[in-house]
């Protein structure tokens, strides 16, 4: 990297004598002084006279202001004039420095408008559209804020690119299909796997009195991503009648498990999502007179306990409140293979 490139990329407008020595890397003072004077003569540095001189011979000022050369944007003007007329050509001609910032994005949009505008009438996935317009399938993901800025500056609506997001698929086991699918969401993988194994092996699917059509592994916070369950429901589960699925949730009985349930509910307001009361009642009875582990959730964050207990619909408020007050919890793995094999019908 040349000295000029080092100066221009240094990131400071005013440099001290010491910083200049570090950049010029000349241990001989007379040669260093000469190099600084050359930079001043070339108009790259300007002394900050108010900072005073260094007291050496020949003298230098203690600070210098970096004079960045004015950029010549002439080369961009012809590229701007070649943009598709649906774009903000006049705006970029007035602000070629903005075109330089937007160039990769706006040129891709222009090519699409010139040569394949019809493809925008049909939807594509986010990565498919990204590759179609820019030849890079991850550009929309990695430069989303800049793409939005370019779209806004060019007067294009947010749905102009006509793409849809593809949520991460859930681990699922579909036992049966019906007009109204009942889904049991299990917070932890071992419990999901055990339920799946026994349902596959036995053909039984009635859990706590409710026929379960689908087992879904919640994967922690994945179910609480905005719209994730709603997209799964509309894309994978809606039966012949077009009715939405019925979702039951079963997780660890601690503050975080309760908060996770309510986060999932808030992220998918159109779904019928409720706790699987029968399994929670069973885990509480199995935990009676057992030494329970300390909750791994060390955050002192309240959970909507009263609302959760009301949704459970059975009278164990004192047990649950006492459990959480002692910072204990019941992992859902308390309902193990032998227990599930007994309760499945």
For 229-254, write each residue's pLDDT tens digit: 777 666 665 544 444 567 888 888 88
Token pair in block for residue 61: 């000022």
Its pTM surpasses 0.85: no
The helix (run of H) or strand (run of E) holding residue 214 is strand 214-217
Q: Pick from 33, 30, 9: which is nearest to 20 by CA?
A: 33
For residue 51, CA distances in Å to 15, 48, 54, 114, 291 come to: 11, 6, 9, 57, 72
Query: By mean pLDDT, which of 98-107, 163-172, 319-328 is the weakest?
Result: 163-172
Query: By mean pLDDT, which of 15-24, 246-255, 316-325 is the weakest?
Result: 316-325
Cα separation of 237 and 174, whole Å?
Answer: 10
Q: Name 334's Cβ contacts closer than 8 Å, sequence gap at least 6.
A: 283, 286, 287
Q: For residue 157, is pLDDT > 80?
A: yes
Count other Cβ atoms within 10 Å, centred on residue 288. Answer: 7
Token pair in block for residue 57: 């011979």
How does the average pLDDT of the chain come out, rounded?
A: 83
For residue 161, name the pLDDT band (cuts at 50, 70, 90).
very high
Q: Name 317's Cβ contacts closer than 8 Å, sequence gap at least 6.
A: 306, 309
Dihedral sign of CA atoms 250, 251, 254, 259 in order:
negative
Give the pLDDT score at 184.
Answer: 87
Q: Is 145 helix (H, G, I), strand (E, B) or coil?
A: helix
Count other Cβ atoms within 10 Å, centred on residue 121. Answer: 7
For 68-127, write each residue's pLDDT tens digit: 777 777 888 999 999 999 999 999 998 888 999 999 999 999 999 999 999 999 888 888
Q: Compute φ and ψ for 161, nearest 5 degrees.
A: -75, -15
Say if CB 98 and CB 154 are below 8 A apart: no
Query: What is the percent of the chain where pLDDT is above 70?
Result: 88
Token pair in block for residue 146: 């800049």
Token pair in block for residue 336: 């193990």
Say if CB 2 and CB 22 are below 8 A apart: no
Mean pLDDT of 181-191: 84
For 130-155, write each residue's pLDDT tens digit: 999 998 888 998 999 999 999 999 99
Cα separation of 337 and 310, whole Å?
Answer: 29
Q: For residue 42, is pLDDT > 80?
A: yes
Q: Pick from 170, 195, 178: which is nearest to 237 by CA?
A: 178
Mean pLDDT of 296-319: 75
Give the pLDDT score at 167.
Answer: 58
Longest dimension (CA), the chain: 97
Residues in the chain: 345
Give the pLDDT score at 240.
Answer: 40
Q: Could you tell me how many helices (H) and strands (E) the chain has, helices first?
A: 16, 12
For the stretch 5-11, contacts whose Cβ atoms lie closer than 8 Å and that sit 24 or more positions apart, written own/partner, are: 7/39, 7/44, 7/45, 7/66, 8/66, 8/68, 10/66
For 190-221, write each residue's pLDDT tens digit: 888 888 888 888 888 888 888 888 888 877 67
Q: Name 104's Cβ contacts closer than 8 Å, sequence gap at least 6.
A: 134
Q: Is 187 helix (H, G, I), strand (E, B) or coil?
A: coil
Give the pLDDT score at 255.
Answer: 84
Give the pLDDT score at 91.
Answer: 93
Higher pLDDT, 313 or 79: 79
214-217 vs 182-186, strand pairing mode: parallel
Give the pLDDT score at 301.
Answer: 58
């Amino acid at each position: 990297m040349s000295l000029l490139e080092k100066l221009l990329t240094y990131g400071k407008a005013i440099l001290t004598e010491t910083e200049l020595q570090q950049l010029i890397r000349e241990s001989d003072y007379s040669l260093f002084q000469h190099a600084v004077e050359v930079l001043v003569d070339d108009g790259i540095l300007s002394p900050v006279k108010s900072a005073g001189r260094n007291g050496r011979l020949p003298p230098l000022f203690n600070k210098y202001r970096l004079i960045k050369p004015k950029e010549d944007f002439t080369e961009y003007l012809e590229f701007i004039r070649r943009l598709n007329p649906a774009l903000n050509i006049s705006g970029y001609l007035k602000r070629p420095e903005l075109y330089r910032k937007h160039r990769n994005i706006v040129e891709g949009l222009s090519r699409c408008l010139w040569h394949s505008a019809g493809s925008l009438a049909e939807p594509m996935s986010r990565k498919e559209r990204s590759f179609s317009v820019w030849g890079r399938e991850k550009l929309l993901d990695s430069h989303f804020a800049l793409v939005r800025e370019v779209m806004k500056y060019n007067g294009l609506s947010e749905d102009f690119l006509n793409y849809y997001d593809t949520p991460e698929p859930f681990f699922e086991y579909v036992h049966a299909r019906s007009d109204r699918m009942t889904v049991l969401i299990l917070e932890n993988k071992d419990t999901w796997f055990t339920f799946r194994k026994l349902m596959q092996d036995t053909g039984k699917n009635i859990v706590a009195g409710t026929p379960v059509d689908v087992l879904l592994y919640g994967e922690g916070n994945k179910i609480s991503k905005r719209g994730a369950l709603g997209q799964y429901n509309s894309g994978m589960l809606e039966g012949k009648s077009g009715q939405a699925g019925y979702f039951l949730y079963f997780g660890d009985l601690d503050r975080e498990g309760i908060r996770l349930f309510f986060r999932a509910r808030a992220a998918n307001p159109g779904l019928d999502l409720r706790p699987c009361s029968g399994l929670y009642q069973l885990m509480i009875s199995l935990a009676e007179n057992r030494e329970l582990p300390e909750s791994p959730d060390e955050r002192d964050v309240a959970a909507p306990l009263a609302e959760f207990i009301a949704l459970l619909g059975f009278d164990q408020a004192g047990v649950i409140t006492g459990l959480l007050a002692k910072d204990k919890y019941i992992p859902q793995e308390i309902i193990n293979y032998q227990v599930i094999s007994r309760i499945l019908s």
